[in-house]
């Protein structure tokens, strides 16, 4: 393995095989591992070198995986207790029918911002969103644009797997990564509001068949529902405020436990833990696949070729960060995988060019949202199903959600790359 570098062809084959297999509905973890194996062999690493690179790549993200798994305690508590439902209903009912597109956007934004997965946020908000939209005569494209845009805005400033991966990859505190995500998040909210309004009467009409009767649930109060996220955020911000570092490994599960107690659901705590672990296990497995792929690509000349291309185009060195996020997010159709691969593979090169690690993390993270909603990812299909939208119509929305993602990237690059707000 020593001295052996995977060829550019091998790295490209690894990516291509992974993408093709994902499109063929092969489980993404296996798709990326298979791609890594074939790419390493094609790239000249040999069987032993290929295995070594794959193992070293997965070892590099173990700490992120552990933190992501513990985050499942908070996620499980929010979802299974009905806290997520309560938060969504409170926002939508408060703003009312006339402002329901804004309400949908804010509901999915807040849910993802406090740690709920994007697909779960859309599924949670969709039933009441559809009902409100029907009263306002809004169409499906506008409704789904509002929710998808809210998810992107929330994800970029949330203690979720993306941010954890970025924090780990660039060696930055999670609170700092969340903080630098606020600017692209605000950008996403503004652009989403404009696009949702423009699409309000576009696409298919919402019919009675699209409206499902909402189950009556014993939901917690709004204050109790928010208690878990508030405790988590309070613990995380102790570092910048008081110089006391509470690792996400502790802060996220403590928030989930406290929230469960406050909601009076202590007896259900074990079930919440199990559900949260099940949800995060999928992400952990995904990251193992990205680690395998990262091990091959990071030991290839691909990053050097991309860097040379950027130089040849006369672009500044910091552009590698958003471009890495964009390319990897598009390749995997996942902001989590995109951020992880971008950080692991291109992060050292970006920082070596003189960009601060936090600025690099901000731009890479934002870049991963540009094309993370492509059809070879699960969110594309989950979001379509949430509003009973056919695939052809869902494909139309990709253009608009990508515009939203690119606006996030552009603002992040302007602030942290051009203006160098973070040094």
Domain count, the chain: 1
pLDDT at 214 over 70: no
Model pLDDT for residues 317-359, shown as the tens digit of each residue: 999 999 999 999 998 889 999 999 999 999 999 999 899 999 9
Is the residue at 337 inside a domain? yes
- Average pLDDT over every residue of 365-394: 92
What is the rounded average pLDDT of the residues 400-423? 93
Residue 124, domain member (yes or no): yes
Number of other residues whose CB lies within 10 A of the CB of residue 214: 12
Cα torsion 235, 237, 241, 242: sign: positive
Q: How confident is the model at residue 218 (pLDDT cuts 50, 70, 90)?
A: confident
Confidence of residue 207 (pLDDT cuts 50, 70, 90): confident
Backbone angles phi, psi at 299, to 5 degrees: -100, 25
Domain-located, residue 423 = no
**Integer Cα distance of 122 and 403 in angstroms:** 19
Taking a C-beta distance cutoff of 8 angstroms, is the pair 108, 154 a contact?
yes
Cα–Cα distance for residue pair 359/318, rounded to 1 Å: 9
Give CA–CA dist 103/86, Å, rounded.
14
Which of the 8 DSSP states describes residue 414?
I
CA distances from 370 to 215, 221, 332 (A): 35, 36, 12
Q: What is the pLDDT of residue 3?
A: 60
In sequence order, which residues have a C-beta less than 8 Å from that of residue 272 and are 6 or more positions away? 73, 76, 77, 80, 81, 256, 260, 265
292 is a domain residue: yes
Across the strands, what pairs with 115? none
- Residue 103's φ and ψ, nearest 5 degrees, are -65, -45
- CB contact at 8 A, 367 and 322: yes
Tell me, yes or no, whether 317 lies in a domain: yes
**What's the pLDDT tens digit per position in 291-308?**
999 999 989 988 889 888
- For 72-107, b/e burial (b = at least 16 CB within 10 A) is bbbbbbbbbbbbbbbbbbbbbeebebeebbbbbbbb
| Containing structural domain, residue 351 | 8-418
DSSP string across 1-24: -TT--B-HHHHHHHHHHHHHHHHT
Reported as a single tens digit per residue, the pLDDT across 241-295 is 888 889 989 999 999 999 999 999 999 999 999 998 988 888 889 889 999 999 9
Distant-in-sequence, close-in-space partners of 9: CB < 8 Å, separation ≥ 6: 42, 43
Which tokens go with 381?
């299909």
Report the alpha-carbon angle 85-178-344, nearest 5.
115
The answer to whether residue 3 is domain-embedded is: no
In a domain, 1, yes or no: no
Domain assignment present for residue 401? The answer is yes
């Amino acid at each position: 393995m020593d001295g052996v570098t995977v060829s550019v062809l091998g790295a490209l084959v690894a990516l291509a095989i992974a993408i093709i297999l994902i499109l063929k509905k092969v489980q993404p973890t296996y798709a990326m591992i298979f791609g890594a194996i074939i790419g390493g062999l094609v790239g000249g690493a040999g069987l032993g070198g290929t295995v070594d690179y794959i193992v070293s790549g997965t070892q590099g993200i173990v700490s992120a995986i552990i933190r992501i798994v513990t985050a499942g305690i908070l996620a499980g508590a929010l979802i299974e207790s009905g806290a997520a439902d309560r938060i969504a209903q409170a926002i939508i009912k408060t703003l009312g029918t006339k402002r329901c597109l804004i309400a949908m956007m804010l509901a999915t934004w807040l849910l993802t911002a406090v740690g709920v997965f994007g697909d779960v946020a859309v599924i949670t908000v969709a039933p009441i969103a559809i009902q409100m939209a029907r009263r306002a005569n809004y169409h499906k494209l506008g409704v789904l644009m509002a929710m998808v845009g809210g998810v992107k805005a929330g994800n970029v400033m949330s203690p979720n797997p993306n941010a954890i991966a970025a924090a780990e990859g660039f060696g930055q505190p999670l609170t700092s990564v969340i903080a630098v995500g606020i600017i692209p998040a605000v950008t996403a909210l503004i652009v989403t509001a404009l696009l949702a309004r423009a699409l309000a009467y576009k696409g298919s009409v919402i019919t009675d068949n699209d409206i499902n009767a909402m189950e009556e649930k014993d939901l917690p109060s709004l204050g109790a529902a928010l208690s878990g996220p508030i405790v988590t955020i309070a613990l995380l911000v102790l570092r910048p405020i008081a110089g006391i570092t509470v690792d996400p490994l502790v802060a996220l599960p403590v928030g989930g436990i406290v929230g469960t107690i406050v909601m009076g659901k202590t007896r259900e705590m074990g079930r919440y833990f199990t559900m949260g672990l099940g949800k995060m296990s999928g992400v952990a497995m995904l990251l193992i696949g990205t680690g395998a792929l990262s091990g091959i690509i990071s030991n290839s000349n691909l990053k050097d070729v991309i860097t040379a291309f950027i130089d040849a185009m006369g672009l500044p060195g910091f552009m590698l960060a958003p471009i890495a996020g964009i390319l990897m997010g598009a390749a995997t159709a996942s902001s989590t995988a995109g951020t992880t691969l971008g950080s692991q593979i291109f992060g050292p090169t970006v920082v070596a060019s003189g960009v601060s690690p936090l600025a690099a993390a901000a731009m890479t993270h934002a870049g991963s949202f540009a094309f993370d909603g492509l059809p070879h990812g699960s969110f594309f299909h989950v979001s379509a199903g949430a509003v009973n939208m056919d695939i052809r119509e869902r494909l139309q929305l990709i253009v608009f959600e990508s515009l939203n993602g690119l606006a996030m990237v552009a603002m992040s690059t302007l602030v942290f790359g051009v203006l160098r707000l973070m040094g």
